[in-house]
Amino acid sequence: MLSPRLFRQLTDSLFLGSQSNPAARFCLAAKCAACCARNRPIAAAIRHASSSSSTRWKSRQGNDFFAREAKVQGLKSRAAFKILEMNEKYKLFKAGQTVVDLGFAPGSWSQVAVNRTSPNGRVIGIDIIPTQPPKGVSTIQGNFLSPTIQAEVRAYVQDPDLGRPRREMSSAADSAGLSEEDLEEVERGYIDIERNANLEGVEAETIGQPGAEQTERASGTPAKKLSMKERDKLLGRVVDVVLSDMSEPWDQTTGFYKKSLSDPYSRMMNTSGITFKDHVGSMDLCMAALTFSFDTLRTGGHFLCKFYQGSEDKALETKLKRLFAKVHREKPDSSRSESKEGYFVALRRKENPTREEVF
């Protein structure tokens, strides 16, 4: 039979539950395991709870050398080391160039481009997500697959003054010798300059590769007498490097209340885990970037795009070889080994191929 004391303890724990006062109970052990477990707050166990996927991601980021190094160097993301590695190998950037970065968010590639094209270079970033751009980068928010957005980007880059670093006067001595018009231009803000910029007259739809007759009609000068730079300018080809790190974004489901550009709703690096779906989506984006490059990239310019490996990347590589002198496949060391992503580096755009020949 149970003693009265043990019976009372059992009934108290079964029927009274949390209403019983554990402090009133007498325990001979100074560190009784049962008492410690009973008195431990429930919130303490909940505080450390997290999903397995979140734990894996945090562990991977914490152990990733490039992620840690990007944070130390003030880079937007570890992706900066991919473009740094490819630039070191192929010499993509030079001072004073015009660079268009498609799918620029969060901005690490644009950071590298600004640094490598200074002084007097300009970098234009396009992305569907609202993102605070790095210093020195001009941005356009919108879906690049939209013809309207592509036309706006073409119009922007064809104005040689838009997006350039502006002169800053630190003292009155710097303003000596400047006319009133020059002083007024220096004092104007970026927003005023771009709001009043004359973008009229730029065709929204770019036709196919013009031949000699179209070039002569546009310039009034025989095509043979124009320099290559002049021919490119007449045809709207003024960009030196086109970068494409685009990924198809997930549909936004939450975060609509966030209005700050410094804290955007992040939908980047959006692979679905379905190999064929990711591959096909990347091919569509690469083709859009290549079409844009055909219209805007100057002779001798470079093109770099990310793709996910699959059955159609060979066809894309063939198109690139028709338009560029050299085409390379790259898998940078900073790209994770388990990732299916790869990069096409196309160097030195040819002048003569027509749209029909390329596509």
225 labelled catalytic:
no
Domains, the chain, in order of start with CATH, read: 79-162+227-255+262-349 (3.40.50.150)
Asked whether the beta carbons of 127 and 104 are under 8 A apart, the reply is yes
Residues 6+ apart with CB under 8 A from 151: 202, 203, 204, 205
pLDDT tens, residue by residue, 39-96: 544 444 444 445 555 565 455 555 678 888 888 888 888 899 999 999 999 999 999 9
Asked whether the beta carbons of 122 and 138 are under 8 A apart, the reply is yes
In the chain, which residues have pLDDT < 50? 7, 10-11, 13-26, 28-31, 33, 37, 40-49, 57, 173, 198-209, 211-213, 265-269
Q: What is the pLDDT of residue 109?
A: 95
Rg of the chain over all Cα atoms, to the nearest angstrom: 30
Distances in Å between the alpha carbon of 43 and those of 17, 46, 48, 51, 108? Answer: 18, 5, 9, 17, 40
Alpha-carbon gap, residue 171 to 337, rounded angstroms? 53
Residues 6+ apart with CB under 8 A from 133: 104, 107, 110, 125, 139
Q: What is the pLDDT of residue 198?
A: 46
Q: What is the pLDDT of residue 183?
A: 61
Distances in Å between the alpha carbon of 215 and those of 31, 153, 229, 293, 307? Answer: 91, 22, 13, 19, 35
Q: What is the pLDDT of residue 353?
A: 94
Annotated catalytic residue within 76, 82, 306, 319: 306
Do you find a cis peptide bond into 222, omega within 30 degrees of 0? no
For the chain, the maximum distance between any two Cα atoms, rounded to a whole number of angstroms, is 116
Residues 6+ apart with CB under 8 A from 82: 332, 334, 335, 343
**Taking the model in full, what pTM does it have?**
0.70
